[in-house]
Amino acid sequence: MIVAIDGPAGSGKSTVARAMAAREHLTYLDTGAMYRSVTDAALTRGLDLDDARAVSELARDLDIVLDNGEQGPVVIVDGRDRTDAIRMPEVDANVSKVAAIPAVREAMVALQRKAAESTSVVAEGRDIGTVVFPAAEVKVFLTADPSARARRRAVQRQGGNTATDANAQANAEEQAKIEAELIERDRKDSTRATAPLKPAEDAVHIDSTELTVDEVCDKICELMERARA
C-alpha cells in the first residue's frame, strides 16, 4: 500500500508520516529530505542555484540514503550524515528553487518510485499524490494555519518539538520571520511550472491546526481501512 501525504511546509507532514510508519509498519519516505539534500550539497559546493544544468548533474550524481537511526530518521549524502544540515535556514530559503528544476525532480522521483517497488510506504511531500504516486491507495492533503506552521518550525529550530510538548514556546520575532518565509514558499511551490503544490483531485483534506499527531493519524488509518475494504 502507498499512503501519499502532501501539503505545505510546516503542516506536520514529516511528523505524521513518521508516526504512521511506526504505527502501520510502513517504510517512511521523506521526499522533502531528498530535495533538501540536493540543495545542501549545491550550497556546500558553491554552485549557482540558477545554473539548472549544474544542479541537475549534481542531483543525478548524489548518493542519497534515508535510514532509520536510534534517534529517528537519518539522511546520509555521499557517505556523510547531513540530517541536521539539511534543516538549516539557508536550505529552507533555497530548496524551492532547486525543487523547481525539472531535471532535479525527474532524478528524485525515480528514486522515490524505486523505493516503493518492494514495500508499502508512506510518502510525504508536495507532489506525491499528483505526480510521484498518482495511483496511491490513500491520498491526504495536510494543511494548517500559517501561524501554527510557523510556531512549529520556530520551536523545531530551537530544539523543541510541538508534537511532544504542546506548550512549547517560540521566539515571537523568529516565528514572525518564519511565517513570512512559509507564505512566500507556499507561493513559489504552488505557482512553479513543474509539479506545483496542489491537492490531488481525490485527496482527503485534513487541517492539523487544532489536531494532535495521533488524531491526524487516526483519520489516515480510517482511510487505509476503507482502501483495504
Structure-model confidence comparison of residues 202 and 164, the more confident one: 202
Q: How does DSSP assign 45-108, residue by residue?
A: TT--TT-HHHHHHHHHH--EEEEEETTEEEEEETTEE-TTGGGSHHHHHHHHHHHT-HHHHHHH
pLDDT of residue 164: 77
Residue-range domain boundaries for the chain: 1-25+120-229, 27-119
| Rounded distance between C-alpha atoms, residue 58 and residue 63, angstroms | 10
Percent of residues, the chain, with pLDDT higher than 90:
67
Average pLDDT score over the chain: 92
Grid cell, residue 149, equals 506552521
pLDDT tens, residue by residue, 128-164: 999 999 999 999 999 999 999 999 888 888 888 887 7
Question: Contact, 126 vs 14, CB < 8 A?
Answer: no
Beta-strand pair 80-81/72-77:
antiparallel
> How does DSSP classify residue 193?
S
Homologous superfamily (CATH) for 1-25+120-229 = P-loop containing nucleotide triphosphate hydrolases (3.40.50.300)
CATH topology of domain 27-119: Rossmann fold (3.40.50)
Grid cell, residue 228, equals 483495504
**CA separation, residue 22 to residues 62, 72, 194 (Å):** 28, 11, 32
**Which alpha helices (H) appear in the chain, and where do they start and end?**
13-24, 31-44, 52-61, 89-99, 102-115, 146-157, 172-191, 213-228
| Rounded distance between C-alpha atoms, residue 183 and residue 29, angstroms | 25
| Rounded distance between C-alpha atoms, residue 107 and residue 113, angstroms | 10
pLDDT tens, residue by residue, 41-98: 999 999 999 999 999 999 999 999 888 766 677 899 999 999 999 999 999 999 989 9
Percent of residues, the chain, with pLDDT higher than 70:
98
Do the first three CATH levels of 1-25+120-229 and 27-119 match, i.e. the same topology? Answer: yes
pLDDT of residue 7: 93
